[in-house]
Structure formats: C-alpha cells, structure tokens
Amino acid sequence: MKDEQSISPSHGLTRQMQVYLQGLQGQRPSLPVSPDVLEQRAVEQLSLEASGYLAGMDDTMRANLEAFQRWRIVPRMLRDVSQRQLSTSILKMQLPVPLLLAPIGVQSIIHPEAELAVARAAHSTNVPMILSTASSRTLEEVALALGDTQRWFQLYWSKNPDLNASFVRRAEQAGYGAIVVTLDTLLLSWREQDIQNAYLPFLLGEGLANYFSDPVFRQALLQPPEENPVTAVRYFTDIFLNPSLTWEQLGFLRQHTSLPIFLKGILHPDDACKAIDIGMDGIIVSNHGGRQVGGAIAALDALPAIAQAVNKQLPLLFDSGIRRGSDILKALALGAQAVLLGRPYIWGLALEGEQGVQTVLQNILADLDLTLALSGYSSISQLDSSTLVNAQPVH
Ligand SMILES: Cc1cc2nc3c(=O)[nH]c(=O)nc-3n(C[C@H](O)[C@H](O)[C@H](O)COP(=O)(O)O)c2cc1C
Ligand SMILES: CCCCC(=O)C(=O)O
C-alpha cells in the first residue's frame, strides 16, 4: 500500500542517479552541492550590505555548527532499509518530510521575486513554509503562490495589540495553519556587520509589506505609506521593538485565534515548561540562527534538556545550524520532531531564484534519505539518543 504522505521510498537514490546521469551528458549541477561552497557563492553574488545582513553574527553561529560536529551517528548494519518513512505529524498536520522553511524576513534584498519564488519552490517540493511578519510580499500574495501547500505565519509581537490581532486574523483568512510567535527578537541585537555598513533594510521600507497593507497599521497613520513612506517606516520602528512583553500577555493571542500557537526561540527547559503551563501548542528550540544573543548556547546543545523537560507533552521543533541531511537526523535523534531550514534556502534563492530554492530542498532531502538508510533506519520515528554518541573533540 502506498502511503500518500511518504516521499518516494528511494528519493535519495533517484536524485543521486538523476545527477550522475546528467553528468554523463556533460552537465554538472549548476548550484553548489556543498553548503559551504553554496554560501560562499551566494555571498559573492550579493551586495556587501545584503550578505552582511544575512550572515548576522559570527560567534553564536559558529557555536551552532560546532555543536553538530560533536554529535556523531553510530550506523547500524543489515536492517532492511529498502523502504523509508520520512513523514511525521505535528498536531493534526501531516508533514511529508520533517522539514519546514524557517521564517526569514525581507527577502527582497536577496532576490526580486523574494518570498514568491520561495513559495513556488515550497509548493513544488511540498515542503511547508513559515512566512515572516517582516516579509517583502503580503501574506495573502504568498498564500496564493503556495496554493494548497501547508503554511504557518510567524508573528512579531508589536506594541500595537490591534495590529497583532489583525495579522492573526489575516493569516487565518489566508489559510495559514499555525501561528509562530518569535520571542527572541523583541530588540535587534548588536550586529557588527550591519552597524559597520550602517544598514538596516527596514529603514529603507524593505520587508514591510504586511504592515503597509494592514488596515490597522494604515489607520494609525495620517497619510498612507504610498504617500508618506518615511512616516510609515517611523511608525513601524516605534511599534516593532517590544522588550516589555511578558508571558502573561500570550493569553491575548489565545483569545484571538483558534490556530495552534508555537513559541520560537526557546533555549531553557524552564521556559519550555512555562510554554506548556500557559497552554501553548508547540515549541521551536532556536537561537535565531545565532543572530540575536552573541555568546549564546548553541541551539543543538539546548535541545536534549528541553526534550527531556517537555517529555513529548507537545511538539518540539528545532532550528539554527541545519546544513545537511545528517544535521536533520541528529536533531531528530536528540528529540525534535521536525526542523526548520534557514539560510541554505536563501543561498539557493540568491543564486537561482525559485529553481535554486527547489534544488537546495531536493538535495538536503536526498541527503537525509540516504543518511537515514545508511545509518540503518527505515523510519525517522526509530531515531533516538542511542543513534548518536557525543564525541568531544580531542585538543
Ligand atoms: C536574514 C534572516 C532573516 C530572518 N528573519 C526572521 C524573521 O523574520 N522571523 C523569525 O522568526 N526568524 C527570522 N530569522 C531566523 C530564522 O527563522 C531561523 O531561526 C534561522 O535562520 C535558523 O538558523 P540557520 O539559518 O542557521 O538555519 C531570520 C534569519 C535570517 C538569516
Ligand atoms: C525586524 C527583524 C526581523 C528580521 C529578523 O528576524 C532578523 O534579521 O533576524
């Protein structure tokens, strides 16, 4: 019987063969397969300002990548891995693969088609997309490009409660299936490269499509953003920073939506327990790709203790540092049910638009499928802490 939700049992093999066969016709993949080379090529393509913004901060990002290196997979042999199951369900949502596109704002600085190109690639690969509040295209336009592909909406909780409620209402109407509240960006961090470049895309009006199109936002202005963009941007900066937000206020969201609510940016087990106590539906362990707290714990290092504290009481997702199939496998083994992919799809977008995003997704899923099989597992549900050893580097 064919399981509609599973990707082809030989997705990895099929993709690998497709690439080798094209090679026989003298064609090499145009997009770099190695994530490091992909990043390097994308950086060469982008302006100094855009690549600096995309990179964010170095220190915590490096820690994220190093944490993955410390965990090693211990492969098991001869366990019939001819059929592989990569699907999972989160609350009532069936995910064909344990991967979603992380919310990444202001994609117009990367590619002119921005979130629309990403949405089309999400649609063709059937990978769910989480759209940022700070997107360059409106959530309605992106929903149209996604068609029937699953989508969640990431909410930046501004100081204007009516605007927050309006965003959630619009997301519901446009078919978004969950709200992801990002907790770690109530202020913007000290980003050395952006400060050196004196660059913040929002001040140029980029990434504000959802704000400028919102009736509540527009009502707060004397003139519409099209007539007076400077005042509109100033109003955005007035309400965006919201460091006084507390756990108590999350109840407001519960009253305004029946959608599941995920909290993104959890790094401490006690905060995970708080999320459960106040009735949230899911948690995303993340340090925002190392972009917010310099010197922060690597997100992967935070995962095991949070998984233990949560004890499967609610879905646990993970991001920050996923670069290849083995990284996904490691995060799942340490307790995540699914992961979010961040910068790698943006590097694909920078180089080849929609096609680039699609290629990055197909590659990482092929890599995951093959790594799962070669490690001796026929289903992601079999992964657990016994899949890995923690190998500290020898100095
Ligand atoms: C350029 C950029 C913009 C981002 N914008 C948002 C955003 O608008 N909302 C959000 O919740 N996270 C945002 N993030 C964080 C991502 O959702 C995700 O946590 C992070 O990219 C994961 O790390 P990775 O890039 O190492 O995979 C952004 C990340 C980058 C690189
Ligand atoms: C206004 C900040 C939104 C973008 C963001 O989250 C990031 O740059 O990390």
What are the φ/ψ torsions at residue 92 (nearest 5 degrees)?
-100, 10
Strands, E assignment, the chain? 71-73, 88-90, 93-95, 99-101, 129-131, 151-155, 179-182, 261-266, 282-285, 316-318, 338-341, 388-390
Q: Is 105 annotated as a binding residue?
A: yes
Q: How far is the CA of 155 from the centre of ligand 1 (A)?
A: 13
Q: Which of 158, 185, 190 to mutate to test the pocket of ligand 2 (most atoms within 8 A of CB)?
A: 185
Q: Is the CB of residue 300 below 6 angstroms from any atom belonging to ligand 1?
A: no
Q: How far is the CA of 211 from the centre of ligand 2 (A)?
A: 14
Q: Which of 180, 194, 288 to mutate to test the pocket of ligand 1 (most atoms within 8 A of CB)?
A: 288
Ligand 2: nearest atom to the Cα of 185: 6
Q: Which ranges of the chain have pLDDT less than 70?
A: 1-7, 9, 393-395
Q: Is the CB of residue 287 below 6 angstroms from any atom belonging to ligand 1?
A: no
Q: Is 88 annotated as a binding residue?
A: no
Q: How far is the CA of 115 from the centre of ligand 2 (A)?
A: 15
Q: How far is the CA of 105 from the centre of ligand 2 (A)?
A: 6
Q: How far is the CA of 104 from the centre of ligand 1 (A)?
A: 5
Task: Please tell me the distance from the alpha carbon of residue 188 to that of residue 125, in angstroms, as a whole number.
Answer: 33
List the residue whose alpha carbon is closest to atom 4 of ligand 2. 105
This prediction has a pTM of 0.98
Taking each continuous run of H as one helix and of E as one strand, the counts in the chain are 16, 12
Domain limits, the chain: 42-73+98-380
**What CATH class has 42-73+98-380?**
alpha beta
Q: Is the CB of residue 35 below 6 angstroms from any atom belonging to ligand 1?
A: no
Q: Which residues line ligand 2 (CB under 6 A)?
A: 105, 134, 185, 188, 202, 288, 291
288 in active site: yes
Q: Is 319 annotated as a binding residue?
A: yes
Label residues 166-197 b or e (16+ Cβ within 10 Å = b): bbbebbbebbbbbbbbbbbbbeebebebbeeb
Q: Is the CB of residue 132 below 6 angstroms from any atom belonging to ligand 1?
A: yes
Q: Is the CB of residue 201 below 6 angstroms from any atom belonging to ligand 1?
A: no
Q: Is 237 annotated as a binding residue?
A: no
> What local confidence, expressed as pLDDT, does residue 10 receive?
79
Q: How far is the CA of 234 from the centre of ligand 2 (A)?
A: 17
Q: Is the CB of residue 51 below 6 angstroms from any atom belonging to ligand 1?
A: no
Query: Does ipTM come in above 0.95?
Result: yes
> What local confidence, expressed as pLDDT, does residue 5 receive?
39
Surface-to-core class of residue 394, CB atoms within 10 Å of its CB (0-12 exposed, 13-18 middle, 19+ buried):
exposed
Residues 6 or more apart whose CB falls under 8 angstroms from that of 234 comprise none
> What local confidence, expressed as pLDDT, does residue 6 receive?
44
Express each pLDDT in 33-91 by its tens digit: 999 999 999 999 999 999 999 999 999 999 999 999 999 999 999 999 999 999 999 99
Ligand nearest to the CA of 264: 1
List the residue whose alpha carbon is closest to atom 9 of ligand 2. 291
Task: Please tell me the distance from the alpha carbon of residue 157 to that of residue 187, in angstroms, as a whole number.
Answer: 11
> What local confidence, expressed as pLDDT, does residue 86 receive?
96
The DSSP annotation for 305-344 comes to HHHHHHTTSS-EEE-SS--SHHHHHHHHHTT-SEEEE-HH
> What local confidence, expressed as pLDDT, does residue 3 receive?
41
The answer to whether the beta carbons of residues 285 and 262 sit under 8 Å apart is: no
Express each pLDDT in 265-316 by its tens digit: 999 999 999 999 999 999 999 999 999 999 999 999 999 999 999 999 999 9
Q: Which residues pair with 151 in a beta bridge?
A: 129
Task: Please tell me the distance from the alpha carbon of residue 138 to that of residue 119, in angstroms, as a whole number.
Answer: 12
